[in-house]
């Protein structure tokens, strides 16, 4: 008898990291039946990832409303998913990462005594406010999960320190590398100048810190006329206002709309340097040989810093500017970062995860 695996996700990063697992599970359709539920948290961005990886959801909760709070997301996910959980009766519910959708889905599965698998388990900063609310979401998911798919040895160590049963922890690598290698195979357009790719969206930096980040970028654009800064601006109105107010008239700064995943990967390949506050980019860019400066005070992904592919530069204007300036002027320092080995995986994480699902649910 086939075992039913329910995948629940809502944002673009979740979809990117779940897609390889869904694709791999579908290769074992004689033993596994997939049921895909999306919440539609990032409507347009989610849809383009589903199209890219040829994934068709079985259900769409369409939870998004204008000006919704984190509580709204959790409440709508619980209410909408409860009916489906009762109807579908999955053998295991799989969530990815640290979103409010993932937490709500894992909590509901616990209420109905459905086993929970957690992809990308064990990431920690040990500061509940950074990243917010992701750090606490991850810890709460770990509290109810039955299978923990840890991407690195560090994340596995974190779970063991929290007394998670070692028999339930599996070291897999990160599925984002699986997805990246699929999307990165396309031809890249050559750049005529050094391009800096920027992303910024973190809740905990709204306000003064976000303004400082933008001021650092403006200084770089003014002081280095040979660079081009390309900034896909997040859809959050709080981000867009600050970015456009400070950077809107920069001569060698291009503010563009958010990109679909595949063209974004191509931009990463083309970039000379990436400056970001994103979690996923910290994992992806090193596989492409592109140094990353992270505009955050803490990161739950310390492996890349240790490996030398990523540098944590904080959120102050002078620190961001000085770190970027070093890489733009010191070729030896740049080469050291660009040639470091990515610690996040080899492209076979999804295969390892599905092998565990086959063993644990079909034995």
Report all structural domains of the chain as residue ranges with CATH numbers, in order of start.
3-174+346-362 (3.40.50.2000), 194-338 (3.40.50.2000)
Q: Does the active-site annotation cover 284?
A: no
Q: Give me the pLDDT at residue 97, please.
A: 95
Which residue is catalytic, options 43, 130, 194, 234? 234
Taken as a whole, the chain contains a residue count of 363
Q: Does the active-site annotation cover 134?
A: yes
* CA 242 from centre of chain: 23
Q: Does the active-site annotation cover 251?
A: no
Print the SS3 string covering the chain: CCEEEEEEECCHHHHHHHHHHHHHHHCCCCCEEEEEEECCCCHHHHHHHHHHCCCCCCEECCCCCCCCCHHHHHHHHHHHHHHHHHHHCCCEEEEECCCHHHHHHHHHHHHCCCEEEEECCCCCCCCCCCCCCHHHHHHHHHHHCCEEEECCHHHHHHHHHCCCCHHHEEECCCHHHHHHHHHCCCCCCCCCCEEEEEECCCHHHCCHHHHHHHHHHHHHHHHCCCEEEEEECCCCHHHHHHHHHHHCCCCCEEEECCCCHHHHHHHHHHCCEEEECCCHHHHHHHHHCCCEEECCCCCCCHHHHHHCCEEECCCCHHHHHHHHHHHHHCHHHHHHHHCCCCCCCCCCHHHHHHHHHHHHHHC
304-318 tens-digit pLDDT: 899 999 999 999 999
Q: Give me the pLDDT at residue 188, please.
A: 52
CB of 274 within 8 A of CB of 291? Answer: yes
CA–CA dist 326, 314 (Å, integer) = 15
172-208 tens-digit pLDDT: 999 999 999 988 875 555 556 799 999 998 877 788 8
Q: Does the active-site annotation cover 148?
A: no
Which residue is catalytic, options 28, 203, 219, 360? 203
Q: Does the active-site annotation cover 120?
A: yes
Q: Does the active-site annotation cover 178?
A: no
pTM of the model: 0.84
Which residue is catalytic, options 43, 130, 194, 201? 201
CA–CA dist 268, 313 (Å, integer) = 19
Q: Give me the pLDDT at residue 58, please.
A: 97
CA–CA dist 272, 292 (Å, integer) = 10
Q: Give me the pLDDT at residue 193, please.
A: 79
Q: Give me the pLDDT at residue 362, please.
A: 66
The distance in angstroms from the start CA to the end CA of the chain is: 11
Which residue is catalytic, options 14, 24, 134, 135? 134
Which residue is catalytic, options 98, 178, 212, 303? 98
Q: Give me the pLDDT at residue 363, please.
A: 63
Which residue is catalytic, options 14, 24, 91, 120? 120
Among 287, 288, 337, which residue's Cα sits nearest to residue 311? 337
Q: Give me the pLDDT at residue 360, please.
A: 83
Low-confidence residues in the chain, pLDDT < 50? none
């Amino acid at each position: 008898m086939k075992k039913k695996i329910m995948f629940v996700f809502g944002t673009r990063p979740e979809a990117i990291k779940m897609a390889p697992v869904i694709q791999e599970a579908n290769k074992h359709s004689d033993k596994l039946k997939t049921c895909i539920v999306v919440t539609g948290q990032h409507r347009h961005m989610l849809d383009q990832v589903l199209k890219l990886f040829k994934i068709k959801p079985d259900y769409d909760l369409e939870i998004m409303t204008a000006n919704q709070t984190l509580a709204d997301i959790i409440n709508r996910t619980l209410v909408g998913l409860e009916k489906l959980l009762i109807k579908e009766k999955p053998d295991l519910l799989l969530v990815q990462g640290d979103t409010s959708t993932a937490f709500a889905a894992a909590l509901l599965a616990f209420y109905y005594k459905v086993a929970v698998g957690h992809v990308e388990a064990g990431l920690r900063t040990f500061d509940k406010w950074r990243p917010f609310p992701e750090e606490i979401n991850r810890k709460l998911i770990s509290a109810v999960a039955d299978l923990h798919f840890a991407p690195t040895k560090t994340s596995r160590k974190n779970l063991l320190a929290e007394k998670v049963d070692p028999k339930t922890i599996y070291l897999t690598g990160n599925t984002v590398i699986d997805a990246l290698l699929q999307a990165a195979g396309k031809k890249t357009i050559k750049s005529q100048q050094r391009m800096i790719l920027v992303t910024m969206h973190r809740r905990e930096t709204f306000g003064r810190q976000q303004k400082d980040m933008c001021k650092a970028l403006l200084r770089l654009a003014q002081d280095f006329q040979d660079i081009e800064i390309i900034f896909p601006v997040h859809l959050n109105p709080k981000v867009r206002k600050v970015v456009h107010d400070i950077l809107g008239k920069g001569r060698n700064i291009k503010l563009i709309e958010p990109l679909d995943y595949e063209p974004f990967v191509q931009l990463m390949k083309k970039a000379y340097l990436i400056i970001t506050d994103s979690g996923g980019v910290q994992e992806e860019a090193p596989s492409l040989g592109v140094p990353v400066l992270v505009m955050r005070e803490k990161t739950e992904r310390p492996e890349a810093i240790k490996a030398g592919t990523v540098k944590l530069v904080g959120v102050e204007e002078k620190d961001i500017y000085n770190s970027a300036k070093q890489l733009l002027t010191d070729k030896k320092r740049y080469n050291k970062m660009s040639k470091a080995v990515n610690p996040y995986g080899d492209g076979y994480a999804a295969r390892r995860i599905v092998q565990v699902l086959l063993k644990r649910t079909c034995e």
